[in-house]
Structures are given as structure tokens and as C-alpha cells.
Amino acid sequence: MNRRQFVRSGTGAASGMLLLSKKAAFGYQANSAVRHGLLGCGNRGTSVATSFSQNTTAQVVAVADLFADQLAAGKAHFDKVNADLGRAAIDEKLVFHGPHAFEQLVASPSVDLIQISTPPFFHVQHLEAAVASGKHVYVEKPVGIDIKQARHALEIATRVKPTQSVDVGFQCRSAPPIAAIAERIKSGTPNGGALGKIASVTGWYFAPASKEHPGSDPQKKDEYRLRNWLWDRAISGDILVEQNIHIVDLCNWLVGAHPLKATASGGRNILTHAGDCWDNYQVEFTYPNDVRFSFSSTQFGDYGVFDAGLRLFGSNGMAAVPYAGPMEIKGAQPWTWQESAGTAQGSGQFAANGSFLDNLKFADRDKERTFIDSIVNGPTHNQIAAGVETALSCMLGRMAGLQRREVQWDDLLAHGENYELGFSVDRFA
Ligand SMILES: NC(=O)c1ccc[n+]([C@@H]2O[C@H](COP(=O)([O-])OP(=O)(O)OC[C@H]3O[C@@H](n4cnc5c(N)ncnc54)[C@H](O)[C@@H]3O)[C@@H](O)[C@H]2O)c1
């Protein structure tokens, strides 16, 4: 199977969107609540589900988590969110605890939409169960941390029913300033092609170190790894696959392709805490037409540095696409997102839960509204294969770095790494 077939094979008939009669396919009244079940009541899961509640007709009616303390905090939080919105508290029967909580949640007839916000290692396992249930699914990035999981996710993508909507948590594409500049950069759109022939891209993601989970006990080795999963390559995918993936996703989307090969370096120069994730990566990706993407990232320190974005250079112009700072095109067709004009690059506030200010301020809101609209009115989405394509792009850079050699896409698919957890979560029953 060549690289295109691999990525596209997961898309099947539902790769794009399917136009269906709203009444026949969806059965929702325009204003009735989409019953929302949250799997993984941590930072991001809580933030996204709260935003769904505040910005859409979704209502959190069920919560599930491996750990009792996380679950209790999630239940209390959403009881308050629901009370503030004049809605009922979560029924105790819809509070699911333990390693099989995800199976109980997806089996519940009282839930329409499953939000998967567990650590990356579990995404594909949980996606499989959620898709099999026939419910709608919002799954966080990355869709898979290794080749085995990526292949599995592509199989799952073929099982998504025309009536199901499945979104992947790449909310940056939905941020209004990014959506607006993308319309100008991408060729083939009515206003597109403003940069002319794209020659090269530079991208960066500089973020503070992730902190130790409060109260986690290093003596309880497996639980400590799970609680501090951001430090652990097998559970997170490493910083390139877990965090930097947003910038690689934007590059793939704006260039309109995935990288064909990569060389990379990096390491763990500063961090001394448990785990094996690197704290810096330098990757040189090559895309079709010899477009080069030079990407640099760090994730260490606690001195207030947070800056992410990319710049694309073409024959007719340069586009700046930062999380914070001027969102603009310079050159033959100059353009600026007005609200970003006077802001400074890197001035954005770091948010471990992904809810940023500045250019990403409305990213979650608009992503969630579009997703709920796909459920209520159609056409449905199936973003699994696109999510896998971006995850594989990051795995390409990771493998090039870890193996200190140039890695081609086909080589990645044939010989890419596979990771194991090394223990069963059943022990947390
Ligand atoms: N899109 C974004 O901008 C963005 C931002 C931050 C995090 N994320 C993603 O969101 C996901 C969650 O990140 P987080 O920061 O909320 O992590 P977190 O550690 O705060 O929360 C994870 C939750 O999942 C639970 N959990 C762990 N294993 C489980 C299992 N097997 N079954 C059920 N529950 C389990 C944990 O107890 C915890 O409550 C990750 O995939 C991360 O990459 C996305």
C-alpha cells in the first residue's frame, strides 16, 4: 500500500461529508439538547465540555474516568455548569468509574455524543468503542501514537455510519483569524493562492514544562506514569506528537499535503523529572514540490515563554500565522486580521487546557458549533483519516529524531515504532 492509499483507505465513503435528510438521519429538533458524555475529566476534557455547554445545545449528562478523584471533580464541576444554565445535575447512574467506564458510557442509551479526552495512548481504543456504539464522537488529538494505532484508526474510520459525526480536536483550524488567512493562502479557494508558489515554511512551538500532577505518588509507579502521562512517550506520543501536532496540522492543511520525508534532531537537555519525552525537537520536513518546513520546539522551563505559530514564504508573499501576534499577509496581496494588528507575537497566555486568548480565542467555540451543527443539521463529518494523517506526519519527525536519520513516509508506514503501555489499566478497577 503506498502512502496515499494508506492515508486515504480509512476514509471510505464517509471521507468527506454526506448530505442526508435532517429528519431521517438525525432525529434532533433544532433546539433540543445533544446529550453529551465526557470520557476523561481532566484539564482539557473539562474545558472543552464546558465550552460545548456554554456555546452549543450540548448538555453534559454523563461523565466517566479511570480515577475516582478526577471523576468526582468532573461531576461536581458539571453539576455547577448545568445549574448555572438552569439544567439538571448529572444522574448518579450516568457516572462511570474505572477501566471499563468507557464501555459503560458508550453503551448508555441516554447519551448521543461521546467526547474522548483521555491520554493519547487510549484514544484509538476508546474511539473504536464509541464509533461501534453509533454515537457521535469528538476525539482529542492525536489520533494514535504509533503506526499500529494509526492503522487501527483508519479501519475504524471505514465503520463510521453516514448518520454519525466524528470530529478530531484540531480547533486551531476553526479560529476565525486562522480560517480567514487560510482562505487566502490555500490554493483552489475563491480568494486563495495569495502567496503564489510556496517555497518554504518555518514553524515553532515553545512552551513551558508540564507540571507534576498534584498528589501523584512516585512510589505507585504505573499510576504515577498515568497521572503524569505528558512526560511519558508511550502514553503521550512525545511533545511532537502530543503538543506540536497543532502546528504540523496547520502546515499540512495550508500546504495541502503531508510531508514525504524528514530529518530531525532533539533530546532531553534540561528536564530531569521522570519520563522519557524529549524537551526539544528540530525537524526538517520535505513536502511535495520540494516545499521545506523547518520546525523547532521546546517544552521546558517555567519562565513565562509561550509562543507558537508558522510563517509561509511564497513567490508573491509571506503569511504570518501565530497563536498570538499579527495575523497577516505581506506582499502582492497584503491582508491583516484587524484585531491582531497591534498585538505582539508570543504575548499569548499559555493554557494547558488549550483555551487560549488572542488569535485562538474563539477556536473552541467555533469548532464546537460547527460540530454540533453537523449532528443536528448535517452533513456529518468523518475527520479520522485527516487526524491520522497529521499524527503520522508528527511520527515521521519523531522517528527521524529518535533514529538520527532521514525517514521517508513509506519507510515510516513499513517500519515505524510501536509502543506498549507495559501494564494493564484493569489493575485500577
Ligand atoms: N486540542 C488541544 O488544544 C488540547 C489541549 C490540551 C490537551 N489536549 C488533549 O486532551 C487529552 C486530555 O488531556 P488533559 O490535559 O485533559 O489530560 P488530563 O491528565 O488532565 O486528563 C486526562 C483524564 O483522563 C483520565 N484517564 C486516564 N486514563 C484513562 C482511561 N484509560 N480511561 C478513562 N479515563 C482515563 C484521567 O484520570 C484524567 O482525568 C489529551 O489527548 C491531550 O493531548 C488537547
Per-residue pLDDT tens over the stretch 238-258: 999 999 999 999 999 999 999
pLDDT for 28 equals 56
Residues in the chain: 429
Residue 169 has φ and ψ, to the nearest 5°, of -75, 50
Question: Which ligand 1 atom is at minimum distance from the Cα of 46?
Answer: 16
Return the pLDDT at 121.
98
* Mean of per-residue pLDDT scores for the chain: 92
Q: Tell me which of 23-32, 234-243, 288-297 is least confident.
A: 23-32
Q: What percent of the chain is predicted at pLDDT more than 90? A: 85
The tens digit of pLDDT for each residue in 29-49 reads: 555 899 999 999 999 999 999
Is residue 348 over pLDDT 80? no
Cβ count within 10 A of residue 401: 23
* Residues 139, 166 contacting (CB under 8 angstroms): yes
Which residues, listed in sequence order, are joined to residue 266 by a DSSP beta bridge? 281
Q: Is a pLDDT exceeding 80 seen at residue 280?
A: yes
Atom 43, ligand 1: which residue's CA is nearest?
A: 242
Share of the chain above pLDDT 70, in %: 93
Nearest protein CA to atom 27 of ligand 1, as residue:
118
Q: What is the mean pLDDT of residues 55-79?
A: 98
> Greater confidence, 188 or 276?
276
Strand 166-168 and strand 136-139: pairing? parallel
Half-sphere CA count of 132, side-chain side, radius 13 A: 14
For residue 388, pLDDT over 70 is answered with yes
Query: Of the given ranges (290-299, 322-331, 349-358), which has the lowest mean pLDDT?
Result: 349-358
Could you read off the pLDDT of 159-214 as tens digits, one per residue? 999 999 999 999 999 999 999 999 999 987 777 899 999 999 999 999 999 999 99
What DSSP element (H or E) covers 320? strand 317-322
CA-to-CA distance for 429 and 422, rounded, in angstroms?
Answer: 17
**Residue 7, pLDDT score:** 38
For 289, counting Cβ atoms within 10 Å of its Cβ (0-12 exposed, 13-18 middle, 19+ buried), the class is exposed
Q: What pLDDT was estimated at residue 273?
A: 96
**CA distances to 39, 202, 341, 355 from 314, in Å:** 43, 12, 21, 31
For residue 186, report the phi and psi dihedrals to the nearest 5 degrees.
-65, 135
Q: Which of 38, 52, 63, 65 to mutate to test the pocket of ligand 1 (most atoms within 8 A of CB)?
A: 65
What pLDDT does 246 receive? 98
In this prediction, residue 22 carries a pLDDT of 43
Helix, coil or strand: residue 349: coil
Tell which residue, 41, 167, 169, has the closest CA to residue 96: 41
- Contact criterion met (CB below 8 Å) for 163 and 136: no
Helix axis angle, 147-158 relative to 384-403, nearest 10°? 170
For the ranges 192-196, 340-344, 403-407, the one whose mean pLDDT is highest = 403-407
**pLDDT at 1 (0 to 100):** 36
User: What pairs with residue 313 in β-bridges?
Assistant: 200, 318
130 in Cβ contact with 116 (< 8 Å): yes
130 pLDDT tier (thresholds 50, 70, 90): very high
Per-residue pLDDT at 351? 80
Which pLDDT belongs to residue 12?
Answer: 31
Give the pLDDT confidence score for residue 13 in this predicted structure. 30
Distance (Å) from CA 105 to ligand 1 centroid: 16
Give the pLDDT of residue 20: 37
Query: The pTM is what?
Result: 0.94
pLDDT band at 18 (very low <50, low <70, confident <90, very high): very low
**CB distance 200 to 313 below 8 Å:** yes
Ligand 1 centre and the CA of 173: distance in Å?
A: 21
pLDDT tens by residue, 217-231: 999 999 999 999 999
Mean of pLDDT values over 267-282: 97
* pLDDT tens digits along 79-103: 999 999 999 999 999 999 999 999 9
Q: Kindly list the protein residues whose Cβ atom lies closer than 6 A to any atom of ligand 1.
A: 39-45, 65-67, 70, 101-102, 117-120, 122, 140-141, 169, 171, 226, 242, 353-354, 425
Q: Which of 39, 43, 122, 141 to mutate to test the pocket of ligand 1 (most atoms within 8 A of CB)?
A: 43
